[in-house]
Structure 1
Amino acid sequence: MPYLDSIRVFVRTVELGSITAGGRDLRLTPAVASNRIRELENRLGIRLFNRTTRKIAPTEVGRLFYDHAKEIIEALDKAEAAVAEYSQTPRGSIKVLSPLGLARRVVAPLVPEFNDLYPDLAIQLRLSDRKVDIFDERVDVAIVLGTPEDSSLKARKIMDCPRVLCAAPVYLDHFGTPEKPEDLVEGGHRCLLLRFPGTQEYFWTLQTKTGPARFNVRGPYDADEGDVLTEWALAGRGIVNKPFFEVAGHIRSGALVPVLEDTPPPPVALACLYPHRRLLDPKIRLFVDFMIRKCKARVEGMMKGVSTAV
C-alpha cells in the first residue's frame, strides 16, 4: 500500500512539524520519508508543503488535504482493529509512553516479555517526565503515576503506590532530621524539586492529622527528571519526595533514610491511560491487560522487605 504509506508519512509530518520527525515516528529514514512525500505530491500534482532551510509548513491545499487524509488513516486503523479480532496472531505496533523512572524500573523490563508472547507486535516505548499530549503524539497507551484530567482518556488503575520523603544520612547529620512538616519550610531544609519550565509555584502535599496539607517547600536547585533528584539525594544534597518503589533499594541499603514517616505524601495511582477510541483494538487490550497484571507484581516485589511507615 505505497499510496497509503505516503499518506501516513504526510499526516505525521504535518502533526510533528518535520519530515524527519514524521519519518522517525513511522520508523523510516529521513530519505525514505522525503521520497514518500515527493511521490504523494507527484501523484496529486500539487505542492503539499512550503519548504525553507529552517522549517516546513503545509500549504493551504496541503492543510485541506491533511483534514481529509487524517480521517482516512483513522478509518483504516479502526477497520484493521475490527478485523484483528479474527486473527490468531496480533500484528502491528503499539506506541507506549511512560515517565523515565517508572519506565526504566517497571515498564521497560516487561516489554521484551510481552514481545515474547506476541512477536509480531512492535512496541515503541517513549520515556518522558514532561507532560505529553497523548493525541498529538499518537500514543496508544500511557503508563503513568497520577490520574488524568482529560475526560477523553480511559484510565485503568493498577494500584496505589506509596510515596516517601527521604534523604542521605550525611544530609541528616548536617542539617538535622525534620520532626514535623513545618520544619521543611521553616527549618532551613533543602528540598529537591521536580519542576518543569513554566511552573509558577511548587508545593508538597503531606498527610497530617487534620488531613492533606500543602507546604511551599524550597530548594537551591530543581530538575525536570526524577532520577536526577534521586542522585542528588544520594549525594547528600537534600530531601527528595519519591514513589517508594523507586527508592526502596536505596532505603534497604541505608543509602537513603525515610523522614516524616508519620506525615507521608499521599499515595499516587499507577494507571494505564489510553484514548477511548483505542478500546476496540485487541492488541491494545492485550498490552493493557498484560501490564496491569505484571506492573503490580513488579512494583510490589521492589518494595518487598523494606520497613517503612508509609
Structure 2
Amino acid sequence: MSYLESLRVFVRVVARGSISAGGRDLRLTPAAASNRIKDLEARYGVRLLNRTTRKLAPTEIGAVLYENARKVIAALDETEATIASYAGTPQGVLRVVAPLGLGRRLIAPLVLRFCDEHPEIQIRLRLSDRVVNIVEEGVDVAFFLGQLEDSALSWRKIADCGRVLVASPAYIAQHGTPASPDDLADHNCLLLRFPRSPEYFWMLQTPDGPRKMTVSGRFDVDDGDVLTRWALDGAGIANRPRYEVREHLEAGRLVEVLPENAPIGAQFGCLTPHREFQDPKVRLFIDFAVKSLKGVF
C-alpha cells in the first residue's frame, strides 16, 4: 500500500475514533489498518495515536498530521473527480450515511439501482442514528430526516415527511381512544430514545400552533422499527413517520390516533460538505435519489 493510502487509513481511523471502524470503511481488516498506522509512525519516528482499550485519539503531532492529510486527500479527490468529469464517466467511491430505518427501507434498495446504472461508481453505505460529522468523517452524502438547524453544509430537500400517532386496534379496545393531547398522559407511549436525550416529548399540531407534549411509557428503544413492532403487538401508542406505517394503516393492523393533532412533520433530504466544486458523482447520486424518492412520502 502506498504512502498516500496509508494516510487515507490514518485519516479514516482518526475520524471514526477506531482502527476497526476506520479500516472497515476502507475494506481493511483491523490488523491491516493497524499495520498502515505503524508504517506511518515508523516513517515519521513518532507516535501518532494514543490507544486504550476504550478510546483512540491522535497525539499532538498526530492531530497536526490529521488536519493536513485530510486537506491533501480532499484536494486529490476533487482533482480526480474533475478529471473523471472531463472523461464523461463519473467513477470512484461515494461514502453515504443514512438513518437506520430509512436507510434499510429506502436508501439500500436505491443504492443497488444506482450502481446498476453506474457500474463505475462504488458506494460505501453506513446506517446509523447517531449524529455524524460528515466533514471530519469524510462522508460525501448524508441523508437526513428531521428539522434542519442552521448548518454550513449544503442541503438538498427531497420531501416533507408527515408523522402519525398509531396504535393497534387491540390496544384501543382495551385502553380507549385519546380524545385530546392531554389524554396521552393516561396512555403507554412507546418512546424513541437516543443517547443524551434529555426528555421524552412529542410536538403535536393544535389550533393554537405546535404544542410540546411531555409523554411517558414503560418502554423505550433506539430503533424505530422496534417501536412499530411494539405498536403492532398492542403495547401502546407510537409516533412514527407516516410512510413507515402506511401499509399497516391501510391493512387495519394499526389505527391513527388523534388525527387532528398529528405530530409535526420532518424534512427529508441530504447534506453534503459545502465545497466550491462538487464531485460529479455526488451530483449524479443526489439527482438520482431526489427523482427516485420524490413520491415515497
Aligned residue for 2:205, secondary structure, equals strand
Paired AA for residue 245 in structure 1 = Y
In 2 relative to 1, CA 66–223 (structure 1 residues): closer, same or farther, beyond 3 Å?
same
Residue 278 of structure 2 corresponds to residue 280 of structure 1: yes
2:116 corresponds to:
116
Whole-Å Cα distance in 2 between the matches of residues 201 and 145 of structure 1? 20
Partner of 1:241: 239
C-alpha distance in structure 2 between counterparts of 1:229 and 1:152, whole Å = 33
CA distances 1:51-89 after superposition (whole Å, capped 9, x unpaired): 566655434333333332222112212222332321222
Question: What is aligned with 2:145?
Answer: 145
Change (3 A) 1:49 1:190: closer
1:39-54 equivalent positions in 2, closer than 5 A: 39-50=39-50
Kindly state the Cα deviation for residue 123 of structure 1 after the two structures are TM-superposed: 1.1
AA in 1 matched with 2:232: L
* Alpha-carbon distance in structure 2 between the residues aligned to 1:124 and 1:53: 27
Q: How much does 1:244 deviate? A: 0.5
Deviation at 1:38, TM superposition (A): 2.9
Matched AA of 1:148: L
Alignment of 1:68-217 (within 5 A): 68-185=68-185, 188-217=186-215
> Contact 1:181–1:263 at 8 Å: present in 2 too?
yes
Instruction: Please name the residue that 1:230 is paired with.
Output: 228
Task: Count residues with an aligned counterpart.
Answer: 297
Given the alignment of the two structures, is residue 291 of structure 1 paired with residue 289 of structure 2, yes or no? yes
Deviations 1:31-62 (A, max 9, x none): 32233223333333444334566655434333
Alpha-carbon separation, structure 2, partners of 1:38 and 1:171: 58
Q: 1:24 to 1:236 in 2, by over 3 A?
A: same
Q: 1:238 to 1:53 in 2, by over 3 A?
A: closer
CA contact (8 A) 1:97 1:126 kept: yes
What is the aligned partner in structure 2 of residue 304 from structure 1? none
Superimposed CA distance per residue, residues 186-217 of structure 1 (whole angstroms, 9 cap, x where no aligned partner): xx111111111222222111111222211111
SS in 2 for 1:240: strand
Deviations 1:249-272 (Å, cap 9, x if unpaired)?
A: 111111101111122112221111
* CA deviations over 1:135-190 (Å, ceiling 9, x no partner): 233221111212322421111111112111110011001110111111112xx111
What is the alpha-carbon distance in structure 1 between the residues aligned to residue 241 and residue 57 of structure 2? 42
Structure 1 position 230, deviation (Å): 0.6
Structure 1 residues 104 and 231: CA distance shift in structure 2, 3 A: same
**Distance in 1 between residues matched to 2:169 and 2:51, nearest whole Å:** 57
Instruction: Tell me what 2:22 maps to.
Output: 22
The equivalent residue for 1:62 is 62
Do the aligned partners of residues 113 and 2 (structure 1) sit closer, same or farther apart at CA in structure 2, a change above 3 Å counting? same
Residue in 1 aligned with 2:4? 4
Q: Which runs of 5+ in 2 are unaligned?
A: none
Q: Provide TM-score, normalisation by structure 2.
A: 0.92
C-alpha deviations, 1:91-141, integer Å up to 9, x for none?
111111111221122111111100011112111111122322222332211
Deviation >4 Å, runs of 4+: 50-57
Report the residue type matching 2:228 in the other structure. T
Give the superposed CA RMSD.
2.0
TM-score (structure 1 length as normaliser): 0.89
In 2 relative to 1, CA 217–156 (structure 1 residues): closer, same or farther, beyond 3 Å? Answer: same
User: Tell me, what secondary structure is at the counterpart of 2:263?
Assistant: coil
User: How has the CA–CA distance of structure 1 residues 182 and 50 changed in structure 2, closer, same or farther, with 3 Å as cutoff?
Assistant: closer
